[in-house]
Chains A and B, each alone.
Chain A
Amino acid sequence: MFVRTALLVLRKDVAIEVKSREILYTTLLFAVSCVLVFAIAFVKEGEPLVDAAAGILWIAIEFAGTLALGRTFERERYSETLRALLLAPASRAAIYVGKMLGIVLLLAVAEALLVPLVAVLFHAPLFAQAALLAALLAAGTIGFAAVGTLFAAMLVRARTRDVMLPILLYPMTVPIMIGGVRGTTALLQSPADLPMAVMWIGLLGAIDIVFITLALWTFEPVMTE
């Protein structure tokens, strides 16, 4: 029942997105613009600075993710559908998981575009350790989406939600960003520092577990009314 509800919420979000493609396209274009802006700062005489690629990749993901989170819940607010969703005789936790999966899916698409883009533009051998990079991206994205979905949902009623979301989200995701950037940097070294990357994947996995557990607990008391 839980899984079915979560998948239903996810299917609803995907169906809306497939029709309008608004959030997907704006998020992708925003991520690409981020990369362009960073290129201006971190490329010197045609050569990117050492370790710049990992940072650019993760910051682009974080910025684009924040934008996508805001837009997803803005849509629910506009059509007053969040209330309907919460009134539905379904477990709140399942609704949260469905929403979170939607964000993870969206960010996965964005990453599928960002990774090759950063690899090409910043001469970074990102595909040398494709499996480990995928694991790192998955663990980081899930952690980010876990906190982000909860905070974005809580902020739906706040007037200042546009600016409050990044203010709350960035300090909270500091360990995720450090793990992602450092883990990617370890993979980009030659030779790649595999134990270090695996250590970061493990840490990100632990963060995911704690954050998702806490979010499942807090979503219920926070979203009442």
Chain B
Amino acid sequence: MRKLFGPLVVVAAVMFAYAPVMIAQAPFESTMGLVQKIFYFHAPSGMIMLLSAFVCGVASAIYLWRRNPAADHIAMAAAELTALFGLIVIVTGPLWARKAWGIWWDWDPRLTMSFVGWLISVSYLFVRKYGGPGSDKLGAALAVFGAANVPFVYVSVNVWRTLHPKTSVVPKLPPLLRGPFWFSFFAILVLYLLLLAARVHLERQRATLDELYLAEEES
């Protein structure tokens, strides 16, 4: 990853610079018009948030049962990025919903899921920061439970909401909008991988520093 880091930064920069051009050239969606453009940013962020939460859950499970410090570093980095991309999702979502649905927020399954998932990722970060001794394992258990909880939240919110049906706009992408969308997705994916690698590196160095401090105190 270290060798690839520099070139990937360049790739990400170029992709992010070109993405607005592609998005601007894409045709307007017939009913939503300009506001639909936020999708190129919003939906990929949501997908990355899910991916990141998954990475965090798996890494936490490995850490909990295998005691592999590297897994803990990845879990920590992924949790932070879940919170970051989650924040992007729940800020850009209402901006779009206000125009498309006429309301800022709707307790639709996906919205509720993102909200709950974001809360769990933030509570993970709180645990790691203020949890005191043993907070690494506490956080790992929280992440494992959070991952196991996902299907239940989905089913329960789905049934709860279908009791009060409401029309929702399901975006089906026409071919001309598909190109810019996947381009944006991969731009954000590369950015995510870069951030994850950088954060894992930082976490590893922090752990090494802690060990050195402890060794210094003991000697």
Interface residues of A (CB under 8 A from B): 147, 150-151, 154-155, 157-160, 164, 167-168, 171-172, 174-175, 178-179, 182, 199-200, 203, 206-207, 210-211, 214, 218, 221-222, 225
Give how many B residues have a beta carbon under 8 Å from the other chain's beta carbons. 34
Whether, in the assembled complex, B130 has its beta carbon less than 8 Å from a beta carbon of chain A, the answer is yes
Q: Is the CB of B155 within 8 A of A157?
A: no
Interface membership of chain B positions 153-180, coded 1 if the CB is closer than 8 angstroms to chain A and 0 otherwise: 1011101100100000000000000000
C-alpha gap A151/B65 in the complex (Å): 17
With contact pairs A172-B120, A182-B160 given, residues A158 and B135 touching in the complex (Cβ less than 8 Å): yes
Q: Is the CB of B126 within 8 A of A167?
A: yes
Q: Is the CB of B163 within 8 A of A222?
A: no
A158 and chain B: residue at smallest CB distance:
B132
Q: Is the CB of A222 within 8 A of B137?
A: yes
- Specify which chain B residues have a CB less than 8 angstroms from the CB of A172 in the assembled complex: 120, 142, 145-146, 149
Q: Is the CB of B141 within 8 A of A218?
A: yes
Which of B123, B141, B153 has the most chain A CB atoms inside 10 A of its CB?
A: B141
Which of A199, A200, A214 has the most chain B CB atoms inside 10 A of its CB?
A: A214
Q: Secondary structure of the A side of the interface?
A: helix
C-alpha gap A225/B146 in the complex (Å): 24
User: Which residues of chain B (103-126) have a CB below 8 Å from chain A?
Assistant: 112, 116, 119-120, 123, 126
Q: Is the CB of B126 within 8 A of A164?
A: yes
The one of A154, A159, A178, A210 in contact with B157, judged by C-beta atoms closer than 8 angstroms, is A178
C-alpha gap A157/B153 in the complex (Å): 29
Question: Chain B nearest CB: distance from A156 CB in Å?
Answer: 9
The one of A158, A159, A171 in contact with B123, judged by C-beta atoms closer than 8 angstroms, is A171
The one of B64, B132, B134, B153 in contact with A218, judged by C-beta atoms closer than 8 angstroms, is B64
